[in-house]
Amino acid sequence: MDKNSSFALSNPHKVPLNNTQKFGFGLGIIGVIILTLATFNIHAEPKGIFTLVSIALIVVGAVIYARSTYLQHPAGIKNNHVYFKTISNRGVWGWALGIVLTLFYVLLYWFPSYLGLGVDGKENTGLVVMFDSLSMFFKGQAASQWFVYGTLYTLAILSLGIKFMYKYRHNRYQLIRTVVVILSQLFLAYFIPEILEGLNTERTYFAKDIKNMWPLNYYFFEPWHLDNMRNGGSLGMFYLVAGIFMFLVFTPIITYFAGKRWYCSWVCGCGGLAETAGDSFRHLSSKKLSAWRLERWLIHAVMVFIFVTTAAVLYGYFTGNGEIFGLSIYNTFSKPYGFLIGAMFSGVIGVGFYPVLGSRVWCRFGCPLAGYMGLIQRFKSKFRITTNGGQCISCGNCSTYCEQGIDVRAYAQKGENIVRASCVGCGICSAVCPRGVLKLENGPEKGRINPKEILLGNDVDLMDLLNKK
Amino acid sequence: MEHIVIIGNGISGVTAARHIRKNSDKKITIISSETKYFFSRTALMYVFMGHMKFEHTQPYENWFWKKNRIDLKEGFVTTIDTDAKSISCADGSSLSYDKLILATGSKPNKFGWPGQDLDGVLGMYHKQELEKLEELAPNNSVCKRAVIVGGGLIGIELAEMLLSRNIPVTFLVRESSFWNGVLPEQESQMINEHIREHHIDLRLSSNLKEIKSDEHGKVKSIVIQETGEEIPCDVVGLTAGVSPNIDFLKASNIKTGRGILVNEFLETNCKDVYAIGDCAEQHKAIGLRRPIEAVWYTGRMMGETVAQTICGNKTAYKPGHWFNSAKFLDIEYQTYGWVFSERNKRENESYFQWHHASEKLCITVSYDKNSRLFLGINTFGIRMRHEIFDRWLTEKVSVDFVMEHLADANFDPEFYRTYEKEIVLKFNEEHATNIKVKKKSWKRIFSTNY
């Protein structure tokens, strides 16, 4: 039956789009084409207006498409054909999208001039120049490739977040969570930092996205960044103190009460993109035991790597030394981390490989902040996914749609709660469960982890005998 | 080393095997003619709908079986010699056993309808039937209309499957309202509405008269008994219930009725031969349960139980409080304890019912009208905690107590609207009571931990 996983352009169970869907999809595509042509220096004039037009087309197109797709049926789970479509089943469109995204990230990190960034004082061209007037509006300077990236990133979360909300319109947890995801990106990660940047143009750059804390923001403690914050007046000092407070105090406390989900699937930018733009690929994560084994090694190795790197960097900063134990701090620690983890892992693999490895590769295997919160969640937290007695039928929807590759069913079919470091609390396992078995909740620590021999429903004496043994 | 042979690799057989392995070192062999590896039958529909691939329906990775020293044999058992303690398969191979567990499940019912064996007619139970459906109904140009005969849980799932391929469905239901032999009228009516909301051509009080063939022996149409109406179609799904899959036992010494007859220890009349799951029939029904229970959960429970007996801890099958669940298109259903439909209501049984004004949400609470003892609850579109209701049933609480503590039982996702106040308000109006819903209490909820 695996013929469905074909490389054919047309899938065997094609459900044609209706005219409204085609119209919405078409509008979005026109928006994307305007920006794509710009990348090849074919600009629509006036550029500033057409950038806004293409943004509007993408948002409006997504809304029209989503309304028509999801409102034509009664509210409920909408996963029909997920494994038939070539885009969401590693078919030809999936791979094509993966290659395009990967290329985009390679250019963004290492060859921004190909995106049109003007180097050595030259004017911007290509894609970047399209965003000059928007950047001018916010901060009175020409756009950088990072401004373009931030704008497109926010656009993806907004438009596909709205689509997600139509898809899950029956589920209040998903609706509220997604509103918060969209607003966090829009304000905390985009408008506020850009506006603050514009109000402080005389000062050198430091990160103004308050939620993007160390160690996810790995350059927070780099000397240049520390200096920029220290020289950034009261705003700079605020971000310095807030950054440390967020990591040391705020995060552990909230994670204790609600699990790491408050961050990973509610406010984080990486998580926000995964939950919205990445929703169509969530099922592609590997559920194998071997993947879990790899995950535990990898995420904790990255975490140790950034801890060591930061320690070395801070040592260098306070002693004025460029070396530690005879090793160059920059060449041994900061530079490899920035290249391997900051750019390759979180950017190129993390997002570029969405259609191949699923939407949470970075969050699951790499993110040191997720690793840190995961340890809290696993060992000292009130959060769990409760399994509802003996109601599981082992269907596997929960495991299939877990973006973090947790074999949720393995727990549910044993009547055992799910307490896992990697769970980001997106709530989709609970949503897709056809029998009402799973509930994300924050409850007493006692009894949170509850392995069982025999499930609820059988002889009470037998359950007592075996489960208390 | 004692050799335990299990025929059937569904939830019953596999649960038995896993628990025997947990408790012993015995040699275990599972035989199946359907698939090599265990899969969740209840998930087959999702493969057809494209929610999952077949591999996702397999709860254990393929290495699991070898690691746990559970041998898997593919084969169709034709004869069982209970004297020689051996079985033989269609491919000529044979196997001897020390203990034998029969866990062969069910097969779809056919009631002798004319045309029931035509090409294009199928049940929806085995993986092979799913594969056949994929051939017969890949899309709505190959299958222009499908007719489903039998309004039960599999029927509505098959309808949902076909809808996912945009195939028009006519759904023949013998009863005057969907599943109203089991569901109270309020709920059955709501499901009728929901079925129609999905543009399924629901025909109530309609029986199948015959299935007509074209010149190639393929389905052409069906005729409805009551009206004589002929409906052209390419596929006919027979989903009028299931019965134990025991034909292969006819020549053996093992006693059968509708199913394989077993005592409370799940033992058949032959020494060292046990039967569990859908294929087993209790000599004497347990409590209000039916002698044959073709339900996932009971299969699993019998597997857990028989494993104890086989490992030396002789244990009777004593299921706890009845529970079940299903999903009707987009509406989830859970039940705890006993709620009988109006048709089968017991003499002392009284309902309290609540239905949301506009959403597809409702509950029926059954209680003893004399003693006010809580008997059971059906919920639609509202999830409830199994552990809480199981405890309340054990503690024999009153319906008033259930109303007062309803918030403890809610299992809906966080931020969902709750309806306890509305529900209890209606209860108070109808019963001249003055019950106030208590706020959800973790302390009460977790005092149930088993």
Give A207-251 as a 3 state SS string.
Answer: CCCCCCCCCCCCCCCCHHHHHHHHCCHHHHHHHHHHHHHHHHHHH
CA distance B195 to chain A (A): 11
Q: Which of A134, A167, A200 is the last residue of a domain?
A: A200
pLDDT at A12: 59
Three-class HEC string of B348-394: CEEEEEEECCCCCCEEEEEEECCCCEEEEEEEECCCECHHHHHHHHH
> CA of B328: which chain A residue's CA is closest?
A434
Nearest neighbour of A389 by CB, restricted to B43, B130, B386: B386
> Cβ contact (<8 Å) for B330 and A13?
no
Nearest neighbour of B61 by CB, restricted to A73, A289, A464: A289
User: How sure is the predictor about A11, in pLDDT bands with cuts at 50, 70 and 90?
Assistant: low
Q: Which of A157, A175, A200 is the last residue of a domain?
A: A200
Q: What is the CATH number of the domain that holds A425?
A: 3.30.70.20
B119, β-bridge pairs: B218
Neighboring chain A residues of B317 at a CB cutoff of 8 Å: 459
Contact B415, B386 (CB under 8 A): no
- Torsions phi, psi of B273, nearest 5? -120, 125
Give tens-digit pLDDT for A58-72: 999 999 999 999 999
Residues in chain B: 450
pLDDT at B448: 55
Assess if residue A332 is contained within a domain. no
CA distance A4 to chain B (A): 9
Q: At what angle do helices A223-230 and A233-245 cross, to 10 degrees?
A: 130
> Cβ contact (<8 Å) for B50 and A390?
no
Neighboring chain A residues of B43 at a CB cutoff of 8 Å: 393-397
> Cβ contact (<8 Å) for B56 and A399?
yes
Long-range contacts of B426-429 (CB under 8 A, 24+ apart): B426/B354, B427/B352, B427/B354, B427/B403
> Cβ contact (<8 Å) for A434 and B332?
yes
Interface test with chain B among A1, A287, A442, by most B beta carbons within 10 Å: A1
Task: Decide if pLDDT at A10 tops 70.
Answer: no
Give tens-digit pLDDT for A179-198: 999 999 999 999 999 999 99
Assess if residue A374 is contained within a domain. no
Q: At what angle do helices A172-183 and A269-276 cross, to 10 degrees?
A: 130
Q: At what angle do helices A223-230 and A289-319 cross, to 10 degrees?
A: 60
Neighboring chain A residues of B315 at a CB cutoff of 8 Å: 459, 462
Q: Which residue has the tokens 């990973």?
A: A264
Assess if residue A61 is contained within a domain. yes
Q: In this complex, is the C-beta atom of B64 within 8 Å of any C-beta atom belonging to chain A?
A: no
Q: Give me the interface pTM, i.e. the ipTM.
A: 0.96
- C-alpha span between B143 and B129 (Å, rounded): 16
pLDDT at A453: 84
Using only C-alpha atoms, what is the Rg of chain B?
A: 24
- C-alpha span between A390 and B443 (Å, rounded): 21
Going by C-beta distance under 8 Å and a sequence separation of 6 or more, which residues neighbour residue B111?
B240
Interface test with chain B among A71, A73, A80, by most B beta carbons within 10 Å: A80
3-state secondary structure of B99: strand
Give tens-digit pLDDT for B31-54: 999 999 999 999 999 999 999 999
pLDDT at A458: 87
pLDDT at B449: 47
Give tens-digit pLDDT for A14-52: 678 899 999 999 999 999 999 999 999 999 889 999 999
Q: Which of A179, A200, A221 is the last residue of a domain?
A: A200
Start-to-end C-alpha separation, chain B: 35
User: How sure is the predictor about A1, in pLDDT bands with cuts at 50, 70 and 90?
Assistant: very low
Neighboring chain A residues of B378 at a CB cutoff of 8 Å: none
Tell me the mean pLDDT in the region A359-363.
Answer: 96
Assess if residue A190 is contained within a domain. yes
Give tens-digit pLDDT for A102-139: 999 999 999 999 999 998 889 999 999 999 999 999 99
Task: Decide if pLDDT at A213 tops 90.
Answer: yes
- C-alpha span between B1 and A458 (Å, rounded): 29
Neighboring chain B residues of A432 at a CB cutoff of 8 Å: 51
> Cβ contact (<8 Å) for B413 and A170?
no
Number of inter-chain CB pairs under 8 A, A vs B: 197
> CA of B19: which chain A residue's CA is closest?
A453
Task: Decide if pLDDT at A290 tops 90.
Answer: yes
Nearest neighbour of B442 by CB, restricted to A2, A289, A444: A444
Amino acid (1-letter code) at residue B232: P
pLDDT at A235: 95
> Cβ contact (<8 Å) for A455 and B304?
yes
pLDDT at A82: 96
Which residues between 180 and 199 in chain B have a beta carbon less than 8 angstroms from any beta carbon of chain A? 194, 197-198
pLDDT at A3: 46
pLDDT at B446: 82
Contact B407, B418 (CB under 8 A): yes
Q: In this complex, is the C-beta atom of B131 within 8 Å of any C-beta atom belonging to chain A?
A: yes
DSSP B74-95: E--EEEEETTTTEEEETTS-EE
pLDDT < 50: residue spans in chain B: 449-450
A10: Cα separation from own chain's centroid: 30
> Cβ contact (<8 Å) for B56 and A396?
yes
Neighboring chain B residues of A436 at a CB cutoff of 8 Å: 325, 332, 334, 383-384, 411
- The tally of domains found in chain A comes to 2
Assess if residue A317 is contained within a domain. no
Amino acid (1-letter code) at residue A124: N
> Cβ contact (<8 Å) for A396 and B52?
yes
> Cβ contact (<8 Å) for A83 and B52?
yes
Going by C-beta distance under 8 Å and a sequence separation of 6 or more, which residues neighbour residue A75?
A169, A170, B330
Q: Output the six-digit token pair for A268.
A: 């984080």
CA distance B103 to chain A (A): 17
- C-alpha span between A84 and B366 (Å, rounded): 44
Tell me the mean pLDDT in the region A394-417.
Answer: 97
Nearest neighbour of B334 by CB, restricted to A79, A81, A436: A436
Neighboring chain A residues of B419 at a CB cutoff of 8 Å: none
- C-alpha span between B261 and B268 (Å, rounded): 6
Nearest neighbour of A456 by CB, restricted to B165, B446, B450: B450
> Cβ contact (<8 Å) for B51 and A83?
yes
Note down the domain range covering A9.
2-200
Assess if residue A37 is contained within a domain. yes
CA distance B213 to chain A (A): 27
Assess if residue A313 is contained within a domain. no
Q: In this complex, is the C-beta atom of B426 within 8 Å of any C-beta atom belonging to chain A?
A: no
Neighboring chain A residues of B11 at a CB cutoff of 8 Å: 394
Tell me the mean pLDDT in the region A421-432.
Answer: 98
Q: In this complex, is the C-beta atom of B59 within 8 Å of any C-beta atom belonging to chain A?
A: yes
The domains located in chain B, with CATH, are 3-107+243-310 (3.50.50.60), 121-240 (3.50.50.60), 324-446 (3.30.390.30)
> Cβ contact (<8 Å) for A463 and B450?
yes
Return the biggest CA–CA distance within chain A: 80
